[in-house]
Amino acid sequence: MLDLQGLIQPTEGSIWRVVETQEIAATRAITRSSSEQSRLEELLEQSKPPVPADCQGLSYLLSTPFRYPPLDYGSRFGSTLERGIFYGAKELNTALAETAVYLWLFQSALHELGPMAAINDHRTALLIPLASNRSIDFSAAELAQHHEAISSPGDWSYSQRLGSSMRELAVQCFWYPSARLQGGVNAGVISPQAFAAKEPSEQQHWQLKLSPESCWFGRHRSGHEFYRKDFLQGNRLLHPMA
């Protein structure tokens, strides 16, 4: 296991996070007026876990991962007993590639694809500024011998131990090599104190077209396209729960 204490350093930059587009609140479709919609949203808000004290004042786009219990299987750097982590990527292309892979994993978990065989949807890419004096850069070249274990697409045991150690050392955020896109760099925020602003500095809306073989994101005159075959290992998409 790495000695993390000596790796803690300041960092400053921005990360991209891709989320489902919510331009029109779902509550509007089932209410008859703005007052009814507001009341319904108040009731829904009351049913959710309280916003943690260190997330007060943050946009829900930033606070959500810290507000809810961890997933049943944890995450790359978080166990099932630890608070959620805000994940993103240094590069937009990396964030979109990670999104494509998880959409394919979703498809592969279905017994029958049915209407999910071809998905036409939208996603929003958020740009979030970070600044922290307690960060670790696992993507650094001097840690190259550890990259395979840190970013294994099918095994989170090593990275989850690193995550627990970072919490003990009060590390606020970290960078690490993407498990999906060679050369890409992902990021994780353990403490909301690492956010340099209370809301995203930019939001981009992207069209999404997904099939079992490819995933395309388009916006204005630019686009990113990924092919499932390029992410396969041993003819399958690796994931600890797959």
Rounded Cα gap, residues 59 and 219, in angstroms: 24
Mean confidence (pLDDT) of the chain: 92
The continuous run of DSSP H or E covering 151 comes out as none
CB contact set of 156 (below 8 Å; sequence gap of 6+) = 74, 75, 76, 77, 240
pLDDT in the model for residue 242: 74
For 174-189, write each residue's pLDDT tens digit: 999 999 999 999 999 9
For 47-88, write each residue's pLDDT tens digit: 788 999 999 999 999 999 999 888 888 999 999 999 999 999
pLDDT at residue 25 greater than cutoff 60: no
Q: Which residues pair with 63 in a beta bridge?
A: none
User: Could you tell me the pLDDT band of residue 28, with boundaries at 50, 70 and 90?
Assistant: low
Place of tokens 């494509």: 100
User: Could you tell me the pLDDT band of residue 36, with boundaries at 50, 70 and 90?
Assistant: low
Count of alpha carbons within 13 angstroms of residue 48, beta-carbon side: 16
pTM check: above 0.85: yes
For 1-13, write each residue's pLDDT tens digit: 899 999 999 999 9
Sign (positive/negative) of CA torsion 46, 49, 52, 56?
negative
Q: Which residues pair with 187 in a beta bridge?
A: 88, 175
Rounded Cα gap, residues 204 and 148, in angstroms: 32
CB contact set of 141 (below 8 Å; sequence gap of 6+) = none
Give the tokens for residue 43: 């009731």
- For 74: left if phi > 0, alpha if psi spans -120 to 50, otherwise beta; the answer is left
Averaged over 141-169, what is the pLDDT? 98
Single out the residue of 183, 178, 188, 155 nearest to residue 101, CA to CA. Answer: 178
pLDDT in the model for residue 31: 63
Return the domain boundaries, the chain. Answer: 14-231
pLDDT at residue 26 greater than cutoff 80: no
User: Could you tell me the pLDDT band of residue 118, with boundaries at 50, 70 and 90?
Assistant: confident
Q: Helical H runs in the chain?
A: 34-47, 60-67, 92-108, 144-150, 157-168
Q: Are 193 and 172 in contact (CB under 8 A)?
A: yes
pLDDT in the model for residue 27: 58
User: Could you tell me the pLDDT band of residue 24, with boundaries at 50, 70 and 90?
Assistant: very low
Residue 79: DSSP 8-state: -
Burial of 76 (0-12, 13-18, 19+ CB in 10 A): buried
Single out the residue of 76, 105, 79 nearest to residue 179, CA to CA. Answer: 76
Angle, vertex CA 121, rays to CA 156 and CA 74, nearest 5: 15
Averaged over 169-176, what is the pLDDT? 99
